[in-house]
């Protein structure tokens, strides 16, 4: 049997109510905060990601789905890549369509996206090779920290609306790229005398990405790391002020946060503000729900004009796992059709199709039997379909034009005309 490839999966109808709910609430949040949707291609030139995300990052080095496009007789095909994230593409589009051109200096472009991304990672709980992200970017000349605060306020509303509780907002400033290089040297200097005491992984991190030693879970490493300088100690004056203003904006909005000076970001393009929202449980080791930050150099890196940027993204897969059992159950229940039509006999059969059409024209969600079966079986099917009502049509009902409307949860049944039935069901919707 042919099955889904490793790290991919079917999202089945029984889960779709949960996905739709998250998408609907996200779209509502974006609408309220003035974001417009953008859809970029699912594959781009490989160079976009290697330049945007960072040549040295693991994503670019070993986690991209890259392929060579078919060329022509006289030309080699070009290297293309399934998008591992969407920020680089959105910024590319911003540049390509000159979205900055008709804007006043303080005006920003607010964009959001939703769709699949691809990374060739080892699958784990809440992590897939084709995964679904919703994210947003704020691009323009302004880098006012109110931009960060507004987006986080929006996410706060979003999570509350989905009844996802016990989340924690972690914030930090990662400063400017030049300063980060300087800090990295200092950190490595400070770590060097302790290398013998650090674990194997940390020694590896010391070589490849020293900032990651802060993520180590080893007790011994943690005590050593506690004394290491943090990136905050090296922040330039402007970044420091930006961070303080950002915090003041969060305070003013009553948004709670934890400053984590050891939080780092995996992608090269981040400057200054970085943040994560951590989920509670049920996610295993993958407990970051939302991640984002400021990237004031990305536009130039991609060959565009100077432009400030801030954005975030969250994974739908993990968000679905974060919905509470009770919320999920309620969403699934509300997903079922309004009424199931049961008929007895060929005259009623013909009539039931017409009634189904009328109910649907009135905006109701209707399932109807196609083939004649015993009424008992049809009723059992109505019950199993989780429809709220069964509409019963036999010869008597056709003759009197009064039909049996049975509430399948209470068992109550009434004999009603079609107009009354529509009225009753519309109220229940």
Binding site for RNA (CB under 7 A): 3-7, 57-59, 63, 119, 121-128, 131, 133, 201, 204-205, 208-209, 212, 215-217, 265-267, 276, 284-286, 288-291, 313-315, 317-318, 344, 374-377, 379-380, 382-384, 390, 392, 394-397, 404, 406-411, 413
Tell me how long the chain is.
429
Nearer to RNA, 100 or 388 (CB): 388
> What is the C-alpha to C-alpha distance for residues 38 and 44, in angstroms, rounded to an integer?
15
> What is the C-alpha to C-alpha distance for residues 316 and 142, in angstroms, rounded to an integer?
30
Minimum CB separation of residue 193 from RNA in Å reads 21
> What is the C-alpha to C-alpha distance for residues 425 and 429, in angstroms, rounded to an integer?
6
Residue keyed to tokens 């022509």 = 72
Minimum CB separation of residue 118 from RNA in Å reads 10
Minimum CB separation of residue 99 from RNA in Å reads 24
Minimum CB separation of residue 172 from RNA in Å reads 12
Nearer to RNA, 144 or 156 (CB): 156
Residue keyed to tokens 């987006």 = 151
Nearer to RNA, 144 or 173 (CB): 173
Nearer to RNA, 116 or 304 (CB): 116
Nearer to RNA, 116 or 245 (CB): 116
- According to DSSP, the β-strands at 168-173 and 258-259 are parallel
Minimum CB separation of residue 273 from RNA in Å reads 14
Minimum CB separation of residue 330 from RNA in Å reads 17
Nearer to RNA, 100 or 183 (CB): 183
Q: Are 369 and 345 in contact (CB under 8 A)?
A: no
| 136, two tokens | 């947003």
Minimum CB separation of residue 248 from RNA in Å reads 25
Nearer to RNA, 6 or 31 (CB): 6
Q: Is the torsion defined by CA of 213, 217, 221, 226 positive or negative?
A: positive
| 361, two tokens | 């024209």
Minimum CB separation of residue 269 from RNA in Å reads 10
> What is the C-alpha to C-alpha distance for residues 322 and 317, in angstroms, rounded to an integer?
9
Nearer to RNA, 284 or 363 (CB): 284
User: Count of CB atoms within 10 A of residue 13's CB?
Assistant: 8
Q: Closest Cα to residue 405, out of 336, 419, 333, 350?
A: 419
Nearer to RNA, 29 or 390 (CB): 390
> What is the C-alpha to C-alpha distance for residues 332 and 26, in angstroms, rounded to an integer?
19
Say how many Å lie between the first and final Cα of the chain, rounded: 41
Measured at the CA of 283, the angle between CA 282 and CA 286, to 5 degrees, comes to: 160
| 79, two tokens | 């290297």
Minimum CB separation of residue 279 from RNA in Å reads 9
Nearer to RNA, 378 or 422 (CB): 378
CA atoms in the 13 A half-sphere facing the CB of 415: 8
Q: Which of 154-158's residues contact partners 24+ apart within 8 Å by CB, and which partners?
A: 154/29, 154/30, 154/32, 154/33, 155/29, 155/277, 155/290, 155/312, 156/255, 157/29, 157/32, 158/25, 158/26, 158/29
Specify which residues 244 forms β-bridges with: none
Minimum CB separation of residue 189 from RNA in Å reads 19
User: Count of CB atoms within 10 A of residue 263's CB?
Assistant: 22
Nearer to RNA, 100 or 260 (CB): 260
Minimum CB separation of residue 206 from RNA in Å reads 10
73 DSSP assignment: T
């Amino acid at each position: 049997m042919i099955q889904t490839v490793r790290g991919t999966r079917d999202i089945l109808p029984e889960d779709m109510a949960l996905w739709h709910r998250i998408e609907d609430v996200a779209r509502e949040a974006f609408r309220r905060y003035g974001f417009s949707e953008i859809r970029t291609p699912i594959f781009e030139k490989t160079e976009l990601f290697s330049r945007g995300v960072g040549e040295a990052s693991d994503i670019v080095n070993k986690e991209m789905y890259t392929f060579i496009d078919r060329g022509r007789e006289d030309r080699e095909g070009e290297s293309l890549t399934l998008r591992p994230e969407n920020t680089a593409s959105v910024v590319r589009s911003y540049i390509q369509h000159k979205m900055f051109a008709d804007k006043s200096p303080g005006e920003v472009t607010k964009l959001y996206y939703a769709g699949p991304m691809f990374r060739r990672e080892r699958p784990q709980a809440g992590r897939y090779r084709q995964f679904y992200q919703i994210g947003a970017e704020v691009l323009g000349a302004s880098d006012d920290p109110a931009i960060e605060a507004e987006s986080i306020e929006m996410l706060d509303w979003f999570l509350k609306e989905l009844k996802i509780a016990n989340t924690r907002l972690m914030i930090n400033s990662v400063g400017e790229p030049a300063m980060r290089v300087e800090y990295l040297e200092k950190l490595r200097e400070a770590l060097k005398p302790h290398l013998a005491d650090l674990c194997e992984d940390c020694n590896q991190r010391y070589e490849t990405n020293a900032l990651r030693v802060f993520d180590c879970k080893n007790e011994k490493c943690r005590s050593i790391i506690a004394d290491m300088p943090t990136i905050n100690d090296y922040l330039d004056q402007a970044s420091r002020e930006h961070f303080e203003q950002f915090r003041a904006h969060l305070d003013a909005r009553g948004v709670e946060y934890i400053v984590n000076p050891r939080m780092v970001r995996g992608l090269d393009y981040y400057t200054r503000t970085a943040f994560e929202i951590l989920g509670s449980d049920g996610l295993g080791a993958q407990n970051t729900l939302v991640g984002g930050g400021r990237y004031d150099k990305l536009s130039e890196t991609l060959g565009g004009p100077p432009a400030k940027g801030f954005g975030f993204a969250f994974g739908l897969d993990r968000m679905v796992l974060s919905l509470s059992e009770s919320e999920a159950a309620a969403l699934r229940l509300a997903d079922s059709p309004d009424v199931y039509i049961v008929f007895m006999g060929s005259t009623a059969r013909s009539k039931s199709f017409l009634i189904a059409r009328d109910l649907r024209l009135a905006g109701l969600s209707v399932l109807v039997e196609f083939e004649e079966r015993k009424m008992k079986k049809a009723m059992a099917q109505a019950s199993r379909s989780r429809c709220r009502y069964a509409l019963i049509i036999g010869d008597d009902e056709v003759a009197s034009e009064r039909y049996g409307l049975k509430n399948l949860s209470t068992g109550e049944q009434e004999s009603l005309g079609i107009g009354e039935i529509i009225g009753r069901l519309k109220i229940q919707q």
